[in-house]
Amino acid sequence: MGCRRKLSSADRMLKLPLLLLLLLQSSANVFILLIIIMLSCGLGKGNASEQRVGLEAHHHHTLPLTSMLPPFVCNTTTSKGPSRKASMKVVHRFGPCSARIQDSPTVSELLLHDESRVNSIQARVAKTKGEMSESKTANLPAEHESPGGVGNYVVTVGLGTPEKELDLVFDTGSHLTWTQCQPCAGKCYKQSATIFDPAASTSYSNVSCTSPACSALQSATLYRPFCVDSTTCVYRVSYGDGSFSIGEFAKDKLSLSATDLVDGFLFGCGQNNHLFFGDNAGLMGLGRDGLSIVSQTSQQYGKYFSYCLPTRTGSDGHLTLGKTNNNNNLRFTPFSSSQDKTGLYFIDVLAISVNGRQLPIGPAVFKASGTIIDSGTVITRLPPAAYAALRDAFRQGMAMYPAVSSGGRSSFDTCYDFTGYPNPNIPKISFTFGGDLVVDLGPRLTMLPLQGSASQLCLAFLGNRNASDVGILGNFQQQTLEVVYDVAGGKLGFASGGCS
């Protein structure tokens, strides 16, 4: 009773009545035999080893357009549970809970700064691989720069004694944590909270020029430190979008929560600073370098952290250091074995599916570029061939809706006008990562509204210019998922419902 021959449509139609008759038989043995035949012939669920996050029975999602509109009031509740001690509440930088003092950027402005970050990341990765031509290397923005457009998500921590609250943008693509400091000997941008005054902290001290920590700055910032005198190590960090911070390298007590403290935390005390869309006090670096907060707290939290990024209209999110017990549906993919020297988090993408069908993308497409996961990049970037396949399949699934142009408001090329369609059906997009981990993306992680329009939405993915440009899993596609970085264990985890 073999199953090697592929059944034609006609064969299946002939066999269907027979299967129904068998199901109506009273004999339990016949029913059991039928189940065995179905499983052995591949009519069952599929590969039992497959891990899946966000499994849904249907291939389409219903997207209520009202869910894309921002609320007027911030929900002050927090999602962190009792097992998340070293946990900080995450808010969207331009969302309802933000303390911003500037207007939110337009979609085109946001994408422009996002593009600068992507260019910086891709140039640095290409340089470490030795893929840059001499002409490109001469104009390489990442030579002494970290990625620009430092992200959309903010946490509040305490620094100093007595503790001073600071709201910091966190970034897995950067390493050094820094904040603006009094007396702002150069220039400080306007921030929403009072600028940190090191003279008011009894636990503050400068890092000396002769210390190993000072020497470690070059790896974290790509700039050599310099000295004012033997007692003061001066750092410099700059970003691809023109943001920068220069100041004294120092250490002080960092408070993650009322009970989770980090003594002697190394950070930049900025005296000359510029941050695009700058309202926040600075930046928290979650990269792999030895000066990142992940490495500095390794004795306490084992190089293990997780976050859930809320949507722009959402209020609940968290950034947590250390393991928790809240992830019953957590599934892992290994970090890529081809990790490079940039300190970024590489993962392996194996396939993309739309409407439950795997797209015809050869494995060499993803392997040639490599892929990182990044909290600071907004929109996911795919190899050109992968994006073209995704876009075409998505358009086929959206043929019933009127397509529109973004009208110069963005670089998106697949947009729709849902006027008169308050609850459109959106094709489900799924990513398969190394270890046969499948992550289903919800409809709010698939489409992004154009500025000033509640009914015009675009496919929120973009293609890279070159096949060799590194792919990036951006923060828009990570929203509402629990994303777990087991850096010491060499793996990345996903779970659904991370912000609830």
**Cβ contacts of residue 407 below 8 Å, gap of 6+?**
450
What residue type is assigned to position 53 of the chain?
V
Domain with 431 in it: 51-68+325-495
Q: Is there a single domain that holds both residue 134 and residue 94?
A: yes
Q: How confident is the model at residue 51 (pLDDT cuts 50, 70, 90)?
A: confident
Which pLDDT score, from 0 to 100, does residue 331 have? Answer: 94
Q: Which of 135-144, 218-227, 327-336, 356-365 is predicted with the least confidence, judged by mean pLDDT?
A: 135-144
101 belongs to a structural domain: yes
Residue 154 scores a pLDDT above 80: yes
Residue 214 scores a pLDDT above 90: yes
Gap between the Cα atoms of 424 and 443, Å rounded? 10
Query: What's the token pair of residue 200?
Result: 């008011």
> What average pLDDT does this structure show over 95-114?
73
Which pLDDT score, from 0 to 100, does residue 385 have? Answer: 97
Q: How confident is the model at residue 96 (pLDDT cuts 50, 70, 90)?
A: confident
Write the DSSP string, 265-308. Answer: EEEEEEEEEE-TT--SSEEEE-SSSTTSHHHHTHHHHTTEEEEE
Nearest alpha-carbon partner for 149 in 48, 246, 277, 61? 277
Q: Which of 35-44, 226-235, 274-283, 363-372 is predicted with the least confidence, judged by mean pLDDT?
A: 35-44
Q: Is there a single domain that holds both residue 273 and residue 332?
A: no
361 belongs to a structural domain: yes
Q: Is there a single domain that holds both residue 170 and residue 280?
A: yes
Gap between the Cα atoms of 118 and 493, Å rounded? 23
Residue 128 scores a pLDDT above 80: no
Q: How confident is the model at residue 245 (pLDDT cuts 50, 70, 90)?
A: very high
Q: Is there a single domain that holds both residue 330 and residue 317?
A: no
Which pLDDT score, from 0 to 100, does residue 258 have? Answer: 86
Better-scored residue on pLDDT, 484 or 228: 484
Percent residues over pLDDT 90 in the chain: 54
Q: How confident is the model at residue 56 (pLDDT cuts 50, 70, 90)?
A: low
Gap between the Cα atoms of 376 and 147, Å rounded? 8
Instruction: Tell me whether the omega of the peptide bond preceding residue 183 falls within 30 degrees of 0, making it cis.
Output: yes
Instruction: Choose the final residue of a domain: 291, 321, 351.
Output: 321
Average pLDDT, the chain: 82
Residue 141 scores a pLDDT above 90: no
Q: Is there a single domain that holds both residue 386 and residue 448?
A: yes
Residue 478 scores a pLDDT above 60: yes
Gap between the Cα atoms of 68 and 448, Å rounded? 8
Q: Is there a single domain that holds both residue 334 and residue 311?
A: no
Gap between the Cα atoms of 81 and 497, Å rounded? 13
Instruction: Choose the final residue of a domain: 275, 298, 321.
Output: 321
Nearest alpha-carbon partner for 354 in 446, 435, 470, 273? 446
Residue 39 scores a pLDDT above 50: no
114 belongs to a structural domain: yes
Among the residues of 129-250, which ranges form H helices? 134-138, 212-215, 217-221
Full-model pTM: 0.86
Q: Is there a single domain that holds both residue 272 and residue 395?
A: no
Using DSSP, state whether 62 is helix, strand or coil. strand
342 belongs to a structural domain: yes
> What average pLDDT does this structure show over 246-269?
96
93 belongs to a structural domain: yes
Which pLDDT score, from 0 to 100, does residue 150 have? Answer: 58
Which pLDDT score, from 0 to 100, does residue 142 have? Answer: 43
> What average pLDDT does this structure show over 450-462?
84
How far, in whole angstroms, is CA 327 from its chain's centroid? 18
Which pLDDT score, from 0 to 100, does residue 164 have? Answer: 97
Q: Which residue has the tokens 């009773």?
A: 1
Which pLDDT score, from 0 to 100, does residue 139 have? Answer: 42
Which pLDDT score, from 0 to 100, does residue 6 have? Answer: 38
> What average pLDDT does this structure show over 126-151?
55
Q: Is there a single domain that holds both residue 295 and residue 337?
A: no
Nearest alpha-carbon partner for 221 in 160, 115, 161, 142? 142
The CATH number of whichever domain residue 168 belongs to comes to 2.40.70.10
Q: Is there a single domain that holds both residue 100 and residue 120?
A: yes
Distances (CA, A) of 281 to 157, 164, 166, 181, 273: 10, 11, 6, 9, 10
Indicate the number of domains in the chain. 2
Which pLDDT score, from 0 to 100, does residue 220 have? Answer: 92
Better-scored residue on pLDDT, 60 or 190: 190
Gap between the Cα atoms of 202 and 159, Å rounded? 11
Which pLDDT score, from 0 to 100, does residue 292 have? Answer: 96
Q: Is there a single domain that holds both residue 171 and residue 278?
A: yes
Q: Which of 128-132, 155-159, 411-415, 421-425 is predicted with the least confidence, judged by mean pLDDT?
A: 128-132
**Cβ contacts of residue 349 below 8 Å, gap of 6+?**
366, 371, 431, 432, 433, 471, 473
Better-scored residue on pLDDT, 9 or 94: 94
Which pLDDT score, from 0 to 100, does residue 242 have? Answer: 78
> What average pLDDT does this structure show over 313-320?
82
> What average pLDDT does this structure show over 414-438?
94
> What average pLDDT does this structure show over 259-278?
92
42 belongs to a structural domain: no
Which pLDDT score, from 0 to 100, does residue 49 have? Answer: 61
Contact of 365 with 383, CB cutoff 8 Å: yes
Q: How confident is the model at residue 151 (pLDDT cuts 50, 70, 90)?
A: low
Which pLDDT score, from 0 to 100, does residue 261 have? Answer: 95
Residue 144 scores a pLDDT above 90: no
**Cβ contacts of residue 456 below 8 Å, gap of 6+?**
404, 415, 416, 417, 418, 449, 450
> What average pLDDT does this structure show over 483-498?
93
Beta strand 178-180 pairing with 261-274: parallel
In which region does residue 263 sit, left (phi positive, over 0), alpha (psi from -120 to 50) or beta (all else)?
beta
Beta strand 205-206 pairing with 226-229: unpaired
Q: Is there a single domain that holds both residue 207 and residue 353?
A: no
Q: Is there a single domain that holds both residue 268 and residue 155?
A: yes
> What average pLDDT does this structure show over 465-485?
95
Active-site residue list: 171, 374
393 belongs to a structural domain: yes
CA dihedral of 197, 178, 289, 139, whole degrees rounded to 10: -140
Which of 61-75, 112-126, 143-157 tops mean pLDDT? Answer: 112-126
Residue 146 scores a pLDDT above 50: yes
Strand order in 456-459's β-sheet?
403-404, 415-417, 456-459, 447-449
Can you name the residues that pair with 122 across neighbouring β-strands? none
Residue 448: CA count within 13 A, CB half-sphere = 27
DSSP 8-state assignment for residue 198: G
Which pLDDT score, from 0 to 100, does residue 396 have? Answer: 96
Residue 119 scores a pLDDT above 50: yes
Instruction: Choose the final residue of a domain: 255, 287, 321.
Output: 321
273 belongs to a structural domain: yes
Which pLDDT score, from 0 to 100, does residue 342 have? Answer: 79
